[in-house]
Amino acid sequence: MIPLFFLVVCAEGLVAFLLVVKIGPLRELVMKGLDQVKMRRGTVLTIAGTIFVILFSNLVSILKIQNKGSKLGTMTPMDQVLWRTNLLEATLMGFSLFLAFLIDRMHHYMRKLIKFRSNSGDSKQEVNRLEKEKLQLKEKEEKAAQEVKRLQKEISSLMENLNKLKSESAEKDKQVETAEAHVVALQKQAADLLLEYDRLLEDNQNLQNQAHGFRS
């Protein structure tokens, strides 16, 4: 089992190295591979549990050999070989489990980092869009302000013209009233003249009648 665990530890070390150091598209391939592995989480946990049980068994064997050696005062060559073999296997299995846990955490946090960067990119795009909209609104606001100023000037000019027209209208109304009063006065004067003319005609007629009476 020692060569197998050596191979596993080397493979895990390579995976951890590729996660830490970006070499071309290898990190993305490793991330996708780990995604596929995590989809079979039950199988992974079963393998990890099996390795942990074997590790625990090796630790128990190591303790038994040490207790046996302490009782006898020395360990036999066979016990020494078994102790070293179990210790090496336990070390490799422990290191393998540690690397597996480390790779799992690295993969987890790198996924979070990728998601955060993606959200950050979306947020930047949203901020840029909002800034563009803000600039557009500012331009529209400036145009609206200019239009308001222009309309205010036009309104001011129209008000001046209106006041001028009102003033002219008031003057014309006064002139009309004066003219109407003058017309009324002339009409009254004309009526008086007609009455005087009628009286003169009547007097003239009377004089003619008197003159005619004297002649006859």
19 occurs within a structural domain: yes
178 occurs within a structural domain: no
List the domain range (segments joined by +) for residue 18: 2-135
Q: For 163, phi and psi rounded to 5 degrees?
A: -65, -40
111 occurs within a structural domain: yes
73 occurs within a structural domain: yes
Number of domains making up the chain: 1
Percentages (nearest 5) of helix, strand, coil residues in the chain: 95, 0, 5
* pLDDT at position 187 over 80: yes
208 occurs within a structural domain: no
187 occurs within a structural domain: no
Where does the chain show beta strands of DSSP type E?
A: none
Give me the pLDDT at residue 40, please: 78
Of the listed ranges 15-24, 53-62, 160-169, the one predicted with least confidence: 15-24
pLDDT grade, residue 215 (50/70/90)?
low
Q: For 182, phi and psi rounded to 5 degrees?
A: -65, -40
Q: Are 110 and 31 in contact (CB under 8 A)?
A: yes
79 occurs within a structural domain: yes
Share the mean pLDDT of the chain. Answer: 84
83 occurs within a structural domain: yes
